[in-house]
Amino acid sequence: MLTELNQGDFMRGVQRIGLVGGLILFFVVLVIALVKFNLSSTLLSSLSSGNVITPEHRIHEPGHLIDYDRDVRPILADNCFSCHGPDPHTPEAGIRLDIREDAILSGAVVPEIPQASPLLRRITATVPNQMMPPPATGKKLSASQIETLRRWLAQGARYSPHWAFVNPIRPSLPTVRQQGWVRNAIDYFV
């Protein structure tokens, strides 16, 4: 009787230790996994995925300045320059979209007025013989690419960044023979 009771207690004790030990082991493994595989950042970003801002989202923020080289040129190069670029396969297209003056003079681009720009009309066209790129090319702009081009037109169809938006570059200091004479960085320039 007594030994049976002790045996029961003993088994329950073993079970409890097994449970606690398992939990401790689980957390130790979890912590090692987090540290070793840097899971924390992926976990955190998936937890807050509703708020993650990707460059794609940023383009559509009001006030975000579309950058020709970064945002626009890749779209035009992939979809338009084969016919409207420097070396067009179809010169009959007659329009170059890689040079701002040409794009404006040909009438394709009306800076600041996207709705008046044939460029926007053609990339949003639903009639096949108006669609750009032509359906025969098998290419099609995504809604997000169309929105990028629309905003770019609205912002003035800039082909290079305005000087005001380019980070100033600190000029390297000229070397001066009489080092003792130089008191501060300004002196290098006078």
Residues in contact with ligand HEC by the rule CB under 6 A: 79-80, 82-84, 90, 92-93, 95, 97, 107-108, 118-119, 122-123, 132-134, 137, 141
Give 69 or 78: the residue with its C-beta nearer to ligand HEC: 78
Shortest spacing between CB 26 and ligand HEC, in angstroms: 54
Give 67 or 102: the residue with its C-beta nearer to ligand HEC: 102
Shortest spacing between CB 90 and ligand HEC, in angstroms: 5
Give 65 or 110: the residue with its C-beta nearer to ligand HEC: 110
Complete DSSP assignment for the chain: -HHHHHHHHHHHHHHHHHHHHHHHHHHHHHHHHHHHHTHHHHHHHHHTGGG---HHHHHTSTTPPP-IIIIIHHHHHHHTHHHHSSS-S-GGG---SSSHHHHHHTTS--TT-GGG-HHHHHHT--SGGG-SS-GGGT----HHHHHHHHHHHHTT--SS--GGGSPP-PPPPPP-S-GGG--SGGGGG-
Shortest spacing between CB 121 and ligand HEC, in angstroms: 7
Shortest spacing between CB 165 and ligand HEC, in angstroms: 24
Give 65 or 106: the residue with its C-beta nearer to ligand HEC: 106
